Amino acid sequence: MKTLPSLLLLDDDIEIHHIVEKAVPSLVHFHAELLPQNAMTRLQEGGIDVLIVDLNLSADENGYQFLERAKRILPALPPLVLILTASENEADEVKAYALGATAFVQKPIRPQAFRALLEKHLKLVLGEESEIVEVGPFRLDKSRLKIWVKQNNESHEVILTIKEFQLLLKLIQRPDQVFSREQLLEDVWGHDGDIQSRTVDTHVSSLRKKLGPSGEGLHSVRGAGYKWSPF
């Protein structure tokens, strides 16, 4: 029997807890906390696959600060991180993606749309059989969303967000092919008019930092988009 993934919601509005819990039966084991410190303690205990954080917490820290603290304390964030927000500010979205968020969920929550979004992303986390892709210095396990990078004859795992993983996979599977930002948005993020092209730039920049010297194969092509070239 397949084990359901565990979801942790951090929101200081108990009504949001009820809405989300009613939207996700049979998809996840649901956990919720009102206070950041309680949520952090639960994350440190391990076993959380999905983290949902309200951006505008009324406690001592907001959603950004909570994610920043989680990244300092934890070995890695959960594979799937969703942000709840009433904000339509693009800068908020870009900052959240840079901190490891997978997607934004606008308030008020629409339960059916929320469930569909969660189900879509969970399919990326719940693979059962390993599908290995090896290109250049990279070894990617598509079902487990894991990547190892070979440097100096030694391989080490690099922690990527789901979107970073999908973006890198898209580029390295077609060496030297130039993909426009619009193509990458469509293929990696799906058709969503609310996602800005700068999102691609932010994720490529993050990939370069995380991959170190191996990220030097990621090239921007002026006026065209991005490509990965073997080196």
Burial class (CB in 10 A: 0-12, 13-18, 19+), 207: buried
Sheet strand arrangement including 154-158: 132-135, 138-141, 146-151, 154-158
pLDDT at 160: 92
Measured in degrees and rounded to the nearest 5, phi and psi for residue 15 equal -65, -35
CA gap 53, 4 in Å, rounded: 20
The tokens 């009504």 sit on which residue?
15
Asked if 98 contacts 206 with a C-beta cutoff of 8 angstroms, the reply is: yes
Domains defined along the chain, listed by start: 6-123 (3.40.50.2300), 132-228 (1.10.10.10)
Instruction: Flag residues of the chain having pLDDT under 70.
Output: 1-3, 59, 125-131, 153, 191-196, 231
pLDDT at 228: 92
CA gap 224, 178 in Å, rounded: 7
CA angle 104, 210, 168 (to 5 degrees): 65
Q: Residue 5, preceding bond cis, omega within 30 degrees?
A: no
Residue type, position 175, single letter: P
- Reported as a single tens digit per residue, the pLDDT across 138-155 is 888 887 788 888 887 677
Asked if 158 contacts 141 with a C-beta cutoff of 8 angstroms, the reply is: no
CA gap 121, 177 in Å, rounded: 26
Asked if 170 contacts 179 with a C-beta cutoff of 8 angstroms, the reply is: yes
DSSP 13-58: -HHHHHHHHHH-TTT-EEEEESSHHHHHHHHHH----EEEEESS-S
Long-range (24+ apart) CB contacts under 8 A made by 150-155 are 150/214, 151/212, 151/213, 151/214
